[in-house]
A and B are shown apart, each in its own frame.
Chain A
Amino acid sequence: MGEAEGKKDEADYKRLQTFPLVRHSDMPEEMRVETMELCVTACEKFSNNNESAAKMIKETMDKKFGSSWHVVIGEGFGFEITHEVKNLLYLYFGGTLAVCVWKCS
């Protein structure tokens, strides 16, 4: 019984690996959805290179929503930032990555 449950957990966990889990966001709904999708695309594309993924996200955000955006992608970091209100998104992705996107000119 325990083993079966363990396997189920693993399977579920793997399912979740591509599921982006929003930890904190104060963006308007539309903006948030767009940004989430953009992050997912970028991380999947550059799965082994965080810098390029971040670069892609930042440039797209700048074009769409104005300058100037900041993006941090990583697996272990702490941060304290000042962001413009209604322009922050902090999400987990892929079971190991954390992405933080905010605007502050």
Chain B
Amino acid sequence: MTPKQPKESKLTNQFNFSERASQTFNNPLRDRECQMEPPPRTNFSATANQWEIYDAYIEELEKQEKTKEKEKTKTPVAKKMGTMAMRKMTSMESQSDDITKVMQAAKIVERMVNQNTYDDVAQDFKYYEDAADEYRDQEGTLLPLWKFQTDKAKRLAVTALCWNPKYKDLFAVGHGSYDFMKQSRGMLLLYSMKNPSFPEYAFSSESGIMCLDMHMDHPYLVVVGHYDGNVAIYNLKKPHSQPVFRSSAKSGKHTDPVWQVKWQKDDMDNNLNFFSVSSDGRIVSWTLVKSELVHTDVIKLKVEGSTLEGPEGLQLHTVGCGTAFDFHREIDYMFLVGTEEGKIYKCSKSYSSQFLDTYDAHNMAVDAVSWNPYHSKVFISCSSDWTVKIWDHTVKTPMFIYDLNSAVGDVAWAPYSSTVFAAVSTNGKTHVFDLSINKYEAICNQPVVAKKKNKITHVRFNPVYPIIIVGDDRGHVTCLKLSPNLRKMPKEKKGQEVQKGPAVEIAKLDKLLNLVREVKPRN
């Protein structure tokens, strides 16, 4: 047994040990407070009714049943694919939904951005009148406004231009290629002057587009002629890339490029119909019967004096190649056809074998013919033989001849005057003539395209505004404003009534023609 050792407190010697105590300095105490941001709060409200609860349960039931059914019908592998596809579809749908929801707004914003970017151009278009024209005696200028081009159509030449009859700022451009060797696809683009950076509508086709026309009464129907001889109708209300109606080898397409198409008035059954002319020598009338294109050969262009006797007594004709045509504005059945041989035939829709008249117009192919919008007897023609000729259809020889030093691609009458017309040539120049001011020379002679290698292919006047559009073979369309000198109205003498309207225009041109006619007998 170990004795418990009592706890001995240490006995300190009073003499050797003394207590000592000390206190260190305590730092003063300080209060510190901190308030954190309270955790965020929101409100929430709902109602708890018996019927709400019931409805929610029923919904849940249905959802469960649907998922059970889906699981049953799909095989495991397909299920995976299905869910993936569904996910993709839903994501794509949501994407497309987003765009379509803001499409209207996006369009407006795009137009506003364009307006701001091209603000000075828009101001020029509306208000700029070249003041220098007062000093330039009889000449005028063309002020370049907008330039329309798209990447997709960069290599394709502009082969056709047409203003929309209803919307004065909308025009159609057909793209294709004039080169025999390099044929590629074609494009139909519709631009609005309000948006020069991107076409409003775009359609692409496999074969180059050579010509187009818009219907007067149905401005959403565009008929197009292709290099492979097909014709097609596009409906702008349905902007898919595919034409609404299309001809085919079975339905009588041309065997050569279609050079021009033109809408006609609806026939007696209220069916739409249009004419087309092509190098295969046929002028065909197409009618839209019950959503199908039906063709009727109106006339075959035969080269006169070349009928040969073939075997079994058949008459063989050499077929002339039509390159341009135009219908008379008042006399419905009469129309002109220009051919590759340089002849112009006056034909009637009713006579299919004979021409009413023939004009030995040019030495090379006729590129364009056009009746004067006011005078019912006068028409103009242009050709690659460098000349532009004005005719009276009762006279076999031309009234006026102009040599432009370069192949003329297109010629167009101005809609506001019977004596003004514009011609474009392959050297990049645009010529504007006003016969009432200067009978022998152009009053405006202006290079319009940047590079000299650019050939201008077509020109069209806007029916309302004093502007013209010019297309070249690089795929650009330039819009130019006519200076005041180019659109002079005849000056009214003081005291006389201001006469305006087609009668005045016709009288103006008549006067000019008479001058020329009088000169001729003297010669």
Q: Report which A residues bind B (CB closer than 8 A).
A: 9, 12-13, 16, 19, 21, 23-24, 74-85, 87-88, 90, 92, 95-98, 100, 102, 104
Contact = CB atoms under 8 A, between A and B. Distances in A.
Given A23-B46, A76-B50, A92 B57 contact: yes
A79 B45 CA distance: 5
Interface in B333-381: none
B45 A80 contact: yes
Contacts of B58: 13
Contacts, number: 75
Nearest to A92: B53
B43 interface: yes
B40 A76 contact: no
18 contacts: A9-B61, A16-B57, A16-B61, A23-B46, A24-B44, A75-B50, A76-B48, A77-B47, A78-B48, A81-B44, A83-B42, A84-B39, A90-B44, A92-B48, A92-B56, A96-B53, A97-B53, A100-B48
A63 B397 CA distance: 111
A85 B41 contact: yes
Indicate the member of B39, B40, B48, B61 with the most A CB atoms within 10 Å: B48
A103 B57 CA distance: 26
A12 B57 CA distance: 10
Name the prevailing secondary structure of the A interface residues.
Answer: strand
Contact of B46 (A9, A19, A24, A97): A24
B54 interface: yes
Interface in B27-47: 39-47
A13 B53 CA distance: 12
B496 interface: no
Interface string B45-89: 111111011101110110000000000000000000000000000
Contacts of B54: 95
A76 B207 CA distance: 72
Given A83-B41, A85-B39, A85-B40, A78 B57 contact: no
A12 B63 CA distance: 13
Contact of A83 (B44, B50, B52, B53): B44
Q: Which 10 A-B pairs have the closest CB atoms?
A: A98-B48, A80-B45, A78-B47, A85-B40, A84-B39, A92-B53, A82-B41, A82-B43, A16-B57, A77-B48
Contacts of B56: 21, 23, 92
A51 B68 CA distance: 38
A94 to B, nearest CB: 9
B61 A13 contact: yes
B57 A95 contact: yes
A36 to B, nearest CB: 14
A102 B44 CA distance: 10
A77 B53 CA distance: 12
Contacts of B52: 98
A25 to B, nearest CB: 10
Nearest to A102: B44
A80 B57 contact: no
Contacts of B49: 76
Nearest to A93: B53
Given A19-B57, A79-B45, A85-B40, 6 more contacts: A76-B50, A78-B46, A78-B48, A81-B43, A81-B44, A84-B41
